Amino acid sequence: MNKADDNAWLEAWTQVTLFYGIIFLPISSGLFAAFVCRTEHLSGGWKLQFSLPIPKKTIYLSKLFIVLAFILMMQIILIAFFLIGGLINIDSTIPWSFLLSAVILSWVGTFTLATVQLWLSFKIKSFGIPLGINVILSLLVFAAYSFRAGMFYPWAQLAFAISSTDESPVDSMPIFTLVITITFLLSFVVSTYTFSKSELKC
């Protein structure tokens, strides 16, 4: 801790930002997206699903919902273990409002990433290629996180959302929230439209 009056919870949270927000969370988002498409690629499931009287948009939304549900479960596990570890070692007051807002906002920040990764996992039959692309783009977060303009980079939005206010380059949280919303809506519209126009896959 830098100062005597620093909150130990927030100081401990810097490790969450570094290892979880910058590295683990964006990579895990792509991993979940690849998993929900893997069975369809291996067993011809896309052809079966597209032959059913179900709109393709509904299929895409259901898979997106599953990916986001897995990420939310991961967020809940994160905060649970963080609180357990903190209660054992930290005597400071728990900053509940910050922790809840960081967990929820970083989950919302994965919406754009989930739509992009789900679209990539659908288009590319290989399980490893979408993951490789995701890992490479996730590594660029280290550079993007150092600049305010990095909040426009979908892979970096998670780190901006989960970091404490005294560490994040973001000056205005409402503007950042607006950026997250706009990028998600754009990626959602494009990915949903292209998925609904896709031909049957063998």
Q: Domain ranges for the chain, please list them.
A: 8-195
Which pLDDT does position 57 carry in this prediction?
87
Residues written for the chain: 202
- Rounded distance, CA 16 to CA 23, Å? 10
- Per residue, the 3-state secondary structure of 30-54, as one string, reads HHHHHHHHHHHHHHCHHHHHHHCCC
Residue 164, token pair as written in the block:
């404490």
Tens digits of per-residue pLDDT, 10-68? Answer: 888 888 888 898 889 999 988 999 888 887 777 777 777 778 788 888 888 999 999 99
Which pLDDT does position 202 carry in this prediction?
44
Give residue 117's Cα distance to chain centre.
Answer: 10
| The one-letter amino acid at 202 | C
Residue 165, token pair as written in the block:
């206010």
The pTM score is 0.87
Q: Please list the rounded mean pLDDT of every run of 10 residues in the chain (202 residues).
A: 66 86 89 86 76 85 94 94 90 88 91 92 85 89 83 89 76 86 93 80 44
Which pLDDT does position 75 carry in this prediction?
94
Which pLDDT does position 200 carry in this prediction?
55
State whether residue 125 is helix, strand or coil. coil
- Count other Cβ atoms within 10 Å, centred on residue 84: 9
> CA quadruple 75, 21, 35, 183: dihedral positive or negative?
positive
